[in-house]
Structures are given as structure tokens and as C-alpha cells.
Structure 1
Amino acid sequence: MTTRSSALPGRFSGLSIKLIATISAVILLVEIVVYLPSLANFRASWLDDRLRVGVVGARVLDAVPDVMALPRSLTDRLLTSAGAYAIVYRRDGQSQLIELADPVTPELVVTADMRQRDLPSLIMGAIDTLLAGPGRTLRIIGPGDLDQTMVELLMPERPLRQDMLDYSGQVVFISLALALLTALTLYLLASYLFIHPVRRLTENMLAFRQAPENGSLIIAPSARRDEIGIAERELAAMETDIFTLLRQRRHLADLGLAVAKINHDLRNTLTSAQLLSDQVATLDDPKVQRLAPRLVTTLDRAIGFAQSVLDYGRETALPPVLAPTRLRPLVDEAAFDARLSAHPRITFTNATPDTLLLNIDSGQMGRVLLNLLKNAREALEAAGTKIEAPEVSFTAVPGTQGITLSVSDNGPGLAPRARDKLFVAFEGSARAGGTGLGLAIAREIVEAHGGQISLVDQPVGTRFDLVLPNALLVKNQST
């Protein structure tokens, strides 16, 4: 069992902190979008208040026939209450001016025309004021309280900028408080609905990974009907399957060990019996001569069964060791071992190109070819004289879908009942009395090479196709 490679993140890390940060960032972004129009409206209201004071001063100017007769103290108090250097009242093309006793000469004057009330102009004016340096003077222009009248105020910009900074600070504080409060509320809600169930799934997967044979660690799914509920139920089903498979694997491993020991002893016993039967076959007794071949055949079959069981347990555990291999000599060697090369009745044809070079495990692939060629020979021998010209052929054809290796014969073919579980160990067999281990091993070896093996339907005989990926084809075949 592998060790634990990662630890579960803390409660305020992982998804939790990401969720809080994301919610806070989204709220702050929304506040920024809302902040600019709000700041523009604050500036417009501030300027409108100063204009209203200017309108009051304009009324004084309008009520007095001679402005110069106004007491200086009165005009100074009026300007001071408005925070202005001067007030200009325009009506019917005439202008009247009120200014401080000590006139101020501004160095830099910017105009704020409150007759333009569109939002982009207000926002640009607010940004300009907020980013402005000290020493600027505002020239505020607005309509008077009567038709065809206009009021202008000349005043320092610093008080407006300071009030805007104070307002911005309040907005930032309120926005942060609102973002944190909203994020905390949403986090608690999301934690209850999503983060806690996901954390439960994660903790269960980590715990079950450490001890998959502990049935008490299988997650108990909730009654939720959403995606998390589906994930819980699927995880519970998967953990149950893994628990069952691991228990079965342990039992099969123990059983396999016992069978291997029994099989080894049985093979030794059968070998001794075979030697004894060979000696019995030499006797002159007619009954012995008649029964001895059957005894030898039965013992050979029992020894072959025992050997195939041992080979199955040993062969399937080894991964293929790939190396460039010429296929034609490998097929010839397998045909020789399968007793096809010099068979008195069966003709064997090897149509493999001489230059075909594959990157395969020659030992394992040779075992596959031996098994298929041996099955073809035994099928033709079992048919006897029913097949006039028995023949086994091997072809190798590269194609776009892969390299197809075919083993075919013109024998009686396979019975329908033998096709259902043809590649299942101990259940499928190409011939009567077989264990099915040969084809099961062949399938595992071919699949370990990334290929597929299948039985191809054809009118006469039997044909097996091995399709190997083109990646196993060695491009440089000149050597």
C-alpha cells in the first residue's frame, strides 16, 4: 500500500480562502464601479450647495440698485459663507461682481460648468478634482433662480478635494465592512452547502486510500439529490467495489498459492506415472498394448493442464520488455515448436515479409503465436481425414489502423458455445477438454502490447487476428 502523499488543507485554506477572497474581490469590484458615479454625485451636490449660496448673493445684488453702496463687511461675510473669492451675477447681458476687500489673483483656474449634468462629464470632473494638485481655483458656473440669469463663483478647489477624500475614505471603510460581512455570510452558507460536503468527500478518499480493506471507511452517502449527492453515492459504490475486489484478490491469492503447491506436487506425481506408463507400454500383453496409448494420452493431458496453470500464474505477472524483433523468424520458431514445420499432413505457410521489424517482447509474443498455431494444428488433427488438404497460414499486414497478424486454418471451426467465453481463463477454450488458459494468456499479452486479439468470422475454418498499434512498427528496417 502506498503512503499518503498529500495532507488535507486547513479549514481556512484551499477552497475556503479562495471562496472568501473571490467573494470579497467581486464585492470590491462592484463597489469600485458604483464608487465613481457616487463620487461624481457627491461633487455635483457640493458644487450645487455653493451655487445656492451664490444665488442668494445674486439676489442681494439684484435687490440693491447700487452695489457699490453695500457695506464691505456685508459682502465679505457673504463671500466667506460661500467660501468664494468672488461672485458674479449675469442677467440680460449685464454683469455684477462681489469680491473680497483684498482681491485674490488665482494662478490656475479650472471651470466646473454645472449646466452639463451628463454622467460621463460629472465622473471626469470628479476624477480630475481628486487627482488635482494644490493651488487650483474653481470657476463654478450655474444657472440663477430666474430665467436668463447665470451665477459664477470663484473659489479655491482645496476644500472640495478634501471633502471628496473624506467621502472616499468613508466609502472605502463601508465597502470593506460590507465586503467582509457579505463574504462571511456567503462563506458560512457555501460552507454548509458545498465546502463541508466536499471536504467530507476529500477526507474520506484520503482515509480510504490508506486502508481500502477497512469496510468501515466506506462513505455513507447523504440523501442529497444534487451533484454532490451523486458524487457521494458513486464514491460509496466505487469504494464498495474496491473493497470487494481487494477481498476477492486476497482470497484468490491465497487459493492460488495453495493450488500452485498442489499443482506442483500433482505434476511430479503425473510425471512419475507417465514414466511408469511408458514402461508398461513396452509389455507384449495385447490388452496392455490396447490400453496403454489411452493411458499415455490421459497423462499427457493432465501434465499439460498442470503446466498451463503454472504458466498462467507466472506469465501474466510479467510486463513486456520491448525490443526490435524480426517477425518472420519468430513465426518460424513458433511453428517449429507447435510441430507444424514438418507435419506429415498439414501445410504451414508463413507469409510474413522478411523486412518486418516490430518493437515487441519476443518471448511473450512467441508464446502467443505458439498457442494459436498449436490450437490450429490440434483442430486439424482432431478433424482427421474430414479435411482433404489441411493448411495453417500466417500473415502480417501493416495498415492505417495497426499491424494485423492473422493465424488461420481450414479446419472445422469453433462451436458456437466455445465463442461466448473464448478468452476467459478456465471457462473458454478453442477445443474440447482445454482449460482456456492459452487464449486468456494470449489476450493479456496482446493487450499489454497495446493491441487487441479477436476471432474473425469466416465461412470455413478459424481465424484469429492480432492488431498491434503502428507505434510498435520499427521504421528503419534496412538492418
Structure 2
Amino acid sequence: MTPPTTTVPGPFSGLSVKLIMAITLVILLVEVAVFVPTIANYRASWLDDRLRIGGVAVRVFDTVPDVADLPVEITDPLLQSAGALAIVYRRAGQTDLITLEAVTMPTQAHTADMRDRNPLRLSADAIETLFLGGNRMMRIVGVPPGVGEAVVEVIMPEAPLRADMLTYSRNIAVLSLLIAGVTALVIYILAERVLIGPIRRLTSSVVAFKRNPENATLIISPDEMRADEIGILERALRDTQTELFTMLRQRRHLADLGLAVAKINHDLRNMLTSAQLLSDQVATLDDPKVQRLAPRLVNTLDKAIGFAQSVLDYGRQQAAPPRPVLVDVAGLGRDAAATAGLIGHDRIEFIVSLPDDFMVMIDPEHLSRILVNLFKNAREAIDSDTAEKDSRWVRLSGVQAENSLRLEVSDNGPGLPPRARENLFVAFEGSARAGGTGLGLAIVRELVEANGGKITLGAQAEGTVFVIEFPTQTSQLAAQ
């Protein structure tokens, strides 16, 4: 399938053409709806005119005792003026007939009774005349003015009526097209100025900005005086483009800076590793001052190397999508605790407070890294705590809530300091210990969100508790 073009249509293509065609079509449909009763009224008026002429002839009949005695010099002009072959006059049980000279009366005729003015019947007869008339004879029946209650019948060909109706229809069609065209043009000009033009301008700005989002001159300049939806959209687009421009420029700067830092950090780590090897050799000397200062030097170098390594690890984080499977949380949690140095720790007890069949649908590698980071943070916090306590523990627990699956990693260590709480999950800002990078929690948040969950800091009387929630559509509790 060919993708749609990104070329912005001109003023007479695209949405503009659709608008003109839609307006014209609607007007023509309205004209068609109006045309049927209009042509029916035209036909009725035409037939009424023929009846009125017939009424004039009837009044002439009344002036003579015997219609048969009227000369053709009088009757033929009357009939010809009505376009009739014959006129029948019925009154008080008497019927009179006058015909053109040497005319044979038709045996069949289509009756148009003008005494019945039902609109539906008039409309149906008009449509019938347009499509089926032309070769038939008509018998027009009615009571024209000036003849009392007498009934007049005019017998004539239907062809003249149909010809006049076709001419009238053609004129209506031309007028309708003219009205539709002028109306569509006027509405198009107004719409082009108020709607289509601004939309085309918005489209052009979006397409151009998409091609080169780092060009600030392509940011749209909205009409600040416009308060309708278009004005709001223009200002929102301006703000969005400005934010994207700023973000992309900052991202490029950070990428360049990150590359430089990574290179520096790599060389620095190598130098620190060499320094660590030298410090290990110095620590074997018998000098008391060296023995006193060497552990501090080694510890400082270990922290520096750890910092450099964590920065490199964070920079190498890959954005591979998770591959969720059913994971035994208890078993994976024990493996993560062993990796984090909790299993076999002489001061810390690791507790698993969930059943062995507690399962979650998640990427197992991601969950392992999440738990390892949280367990390491808990172990380091407890190791650094100098307060006297009867027991030290780190607990992994979980519950199935109504709409989510909930995991908790808690400890009874010293808790988080205020600065760490304010910048929790922010790289290089959320560390709870001196010399830390805060990258562990930043990585944990990214992994949890990549699997459709969220992580928050829970409330606990002492220590720290992290709460991880996964929605029911991406997690499940399986009982085996």
C-alpha cells in the first residue's frame, strides 16, 4: 500500500475541493426536493389556464340558443386559443360540445381532474407527464371561474404541456446550478478565510517542522487575537513545537556531552583500577601509618571505580522491549537476593512473604534486575546503619489486589533521607548514601514502566518500602 503524500494541497485541491463539492451537492439535493412541488404547481397552473379559456368559450355558448348553430369562424379561434381539439360544457343535465372542423375525437384520453387539488396527486401526475407524457390525449376537467357550477372539459394533446414543463425544468436546472455555484463559491471564500486557510497553514507548519524540527524559524506564529478553536490549536501547536525544539536541542547537547563523559569515564576507570592495584600493594607494607591510611584509600578508590562503572552501565542501557512470561516470583526473588549479597549475610535476614505459586507475567530478566537493585540498596542501607537493633531484615512480599498485582520490597534500615525522597528515581540525584549515583532506582523505574507497571515509595513505621504495581492485563496470579 502506497503511503499518503505529505505534500500540502493547494487552495483548489484536498479539503477545499471536498468542501466545494459537498456544498454544491447539498444545494442541488435541496433544489431537487423543492423541484417536485414546484413542477407540480407549474403543471396545475398551466392546466388551469386552459380551463379558463374553456370558461370563456362556455360564456359564448350561453349567448346562443343552440351551440350547434355557431359558425366555425367563432368556434375554431376559441378552440385554437386553448390549444384544444374540443370543449365539453356540462350544466343542469345538459351537455354541449364544440370541436374543431374536421377533427376526429379520440377514443381514449388521460384525465386531469383539477377539482382534486391533493398535493401528492398533483406531484405524481407532474412526474408522470414528464416521463410518460407526450403522445397522449388529455381530458382536463374542472370548474373555471364565471360559469357557476357547470363543469368544463377541455380535450387536447399532452405534448404542448410536456414541452412547456421540460422548458421550465431546464430553466430551473440552470438556475439551480447557478445558485449552487454562487453559494458554494461564497461559502468557500468565507471558509477559506476562516477555516481552510488556517488549517492549511497548520498543516504546512506541521509538515515542515517534521522535516526539520531543529529549525526554530519553522515554529508557527499564531494569531494571538483569535479566540476560537483554530486560535487555541495554533497556540498549542506553537507551544508544542517550541518544547520539541528545546528538547531536541538539549537532547543533542546531552548526547554529545554523554559521549565525552563516557570516554573520560572509561579512561578514568582504567586509571583508578591501576591506582587500586598500587594501593593493594601499599596495604601490604608494615608501616603503621600506611596500615592506618591504606584501608581508607582502598575504600575511596572502590567508591570511585564503582561510580565510574555505574555511569558506564547506565549509559549502555538498551531499550529492548520486554518479553513477558509467567515468572515464579519467590524463586526469582531468592536468586536476586543471593546476587545482591543478602543470602548468607551475617547480620541481615532475607524474608519471602508470598506463596511459592505466586506468579507474575513479566520479563524475568527485567524483574531480576529490579529486585537486585532494590535488594542492594536495602543491604547497603542496613550495613551503614549504626543503630542497635535486635534484628535486621529485608522482606519480599506480594498481594493480589482487585485491579492490580502488588509487590513490596521492605527493610527495617535507617530509611531514606529527605533529599533522597525529594529526588527519588532521578538519576544522579536520588542516592540515599554518600558517594552514590542514584542510578539504581532510575533503572528500576524504567524497567517497571517498560513492563506496564509503576513504582512508588510506600509508608512504613521504620525503614523503607518500595511498592511495585502491575495492572491486571499485564499480570496474573496463577494457582498451580
TM tier, smaller: over 0.9
Indicate the residue corresponding to 2:243 in structure 1: 241
Task: Give 1:384-463 correspondences, 5 Å limit.
Answer: 384-463=386-465
In the superposition, relative to structure 1, how do residues 218 and 65 fare at CA in structure 2: closer, same or farther (>3 Å)?
same
Deviation at 1:352, TM superposition (A): 4.4
Q: Mean alpha-carbon deviation: is it higher for 267-276 or for 44-53?
A: 267-276
CA distance in 1, matches of 2:408, 2:473: 19
Q: Share of identical aligned residues, percent?
A: 56
CA distance in 1, matches of 2:479, 2:166: 81
CA distance in 2, matches of 1:337, 1:387: 25
CA distance in 1, matches of 2:107, 2:216: 85
Alignment partner of 1:315: what SS? Answer: coil
Deviations 1:7-38 (A, max 9, x none): 22343221011001011011101111221121
1:211 correspondence with 2:220: no
Task: Give 1:122-133 correspondences, 5 Å limit.
Answer: 122-133=122-133
Indicate the residue corresponding to 1:158 in structure 2: 159
- 8 A Cα contact 2:362 2:475, kept in partner: no
- 8 A Cα contact 1:392 1:409, kept in partner: yes
Alignment partner of 1:155: what SS? Answer: strand
Alignment partner of 1:30: what SS? Answer: helix
CA distance in 2, matches of 1:342, 1:451: 31
- 8 A Cα contact 1:321 1:361, kept in partner: yes
1:167 correspondence with 2:133: no
Indicate the residue corresponding to 1:345 in structure 2: 347
CA distance in 2, matches of 1:117, 1:434: 97
State the 4+ residue runs in structure 1 displaced beyond 6 angstroms. 474-478
In the superposition, relative to structure 1, how do residues 153 and 163 fare at CA in structure 2: closer, same or farther (>3 Å)?
same
Alignment partner of 1:202: what SS? Answer: helix
Alignment partner of 1:384: what SS? Answer: coil
In the superposition, relative to structure 1, how do residues 282 and 306 fare at CA in structure 2: closer, same or farther (>3 Å)?
same
Q: Mean alpha-carbon deviation: is it higher for 240-249 or for 158-167?
A: 158-167
Indicate the residue corresponding to 2:293 in structure 1: 291
Deviations 1:231-257 (A, max 9, x none): 111111111111111110111011101
Which amino acid in structure 1 is aligned with residue 227 of structure 2? R
CA distance in 1, matches of 2:354, 2:307: 31
CA distance in 2, matches of 1:289, 1:36: 112
In the superposition, relative to structure 1, how do residues 25 and 107 fare at CA in structure 2: closer, same or farther (>3 Å)?
farther
Indicate the residue corresponding to 2:98 in structure 1: 98
Which amino acid in structure 1 is aligned with residue 410 of structure 2? S
CA distance in 1, matches of 2:307, 2:329: 29
Deviation at 1:301, TM superposition (A): 1.5
In the superposition, relative to structure 1, how do residues 108 and 379 fare at CA in structure 2: closer, same or farther (>3 Å)?
farther
Indicate the residue corresponding to 2:119 in structure 1: 119
Indicate the residue corresponding to 2:201 in structure 1: 200
Which amino acid in structure 2 is aligned with residue 257 of structure 1? L
Provide the alpha-carbon RMSD of the alignment.
2.2
CA distance in 2, matches of 1:108, 1:407: 102
Which amino acid in structure 2 is aligned with residue 186 of structure 1? I
Deviation at 1:400, TM superposition (A): 3.5
In the superposition, relative to structure 1, how do residues 160 and 185 fare at CA in structure 2: closer, same or farther (>3 Å)?
same
Indicate the residue corresponding to 1:220 in structure 2: 221
Indicate the residue corresponding to 1:185 in structure 2: 186
Alignment partner of 1:32: what SS? Answer: helix
Which amino acid in structure 2 is aligned with residue 26 of structure 1? V
In the superposition, relative to structure 1, how do residues 107 and 68 fare at CA in structure 2: closer, same or farther (>3 Å)?
closer
- 8 A Cα contact 1:4 1:210, kept in partner: no
In the superposition, relative to structure 1, how do residues 321 and 264 fare at CA in structure 2: closer, same or farther (>3 Å)?
farther
Deviation at 1:325, TM superposition (A): 4.0
Deviation at 1:262, TM superposition (A): 1.1
CA distance in 2, matches of 1:427, 1:78: 110
- 8 A Cα contact 1:108 1:135, kept in partner: no
Deviation at 1:356, TM superposition (A): 4.2
Deviation at 1:354, TM superposition (A): 3.3
Indicate the residue corresponding to 1:251 in structure 2: 253
Indicate the residue corresponding to 2:304 in structure 1: 302
CA distance in 1, matches of 2:131, 2:174: 20
CA distance in 1, matches of 2:425, 2:477: 32
CA distance in 2, matches of 1:128, 1:303: 99
CA distance in 2, matches of 1:28, 1:475: 64
- 8 A Cα contact 2:358 2:478, kept in partner: no
Which amino acid in structure 2 is aligned with residue 12 of structure 1? F
The TM-score normalised by the length of structure 2 is: 0.93
In the superposition, relative to structure 1, how do residues 34 and 104 fare at CA in structure 2: closer, same or farther (>3 Å)?
same
In the superposition, relative to structure 1, how do residues 334 and 58 fare at CA in structure 2: closer, same or farther (>3 Å)?
same
Deviation at 1:214, TM superposition (A): 0.9
In the superposition, relative to structure 1, how do residues 148 and 299 fare at CA in structure 2: closer, same or farther (>3 Å)?
same
In the superposition, relative to structure 1, how do residues 382 and 475 fare at CA in structure 2: closer, same or farther (>3 Å)?
closer
The TM-score normalised by the length of structure 1 is: 0.93
Alignment partner of 2:12: what SS? Answer: coil
Which amino acid in structure 1 is aligned with residue 232 of structure 2? I
Alignment partner of 2:127: what SS? Answer: helix
Q: Mean alpha-carbon deviation: is it higher for 179-188 or for 410-419?
A: 410-419
Indicate the residue corresponding to 2:36 in structure 1: 36
Unaligned 5+ runs, structure 2: none
CA distance in 2, matches of 1:12, 1:291: 84
Q: Mean alpha-carbon deviation: is it higher for 439-448 or for 142-151?
A: 142-151
CA distance in 2, matches of 1:475, 1:370: 22
How many aligned residue pairs are there?
A: 476
CA distance in 1, matches of 2:478, 2:110: 82
Q: Mean alpha-carbon deviation: is it higher for 378-387 or for 51-60?
A: 378-387
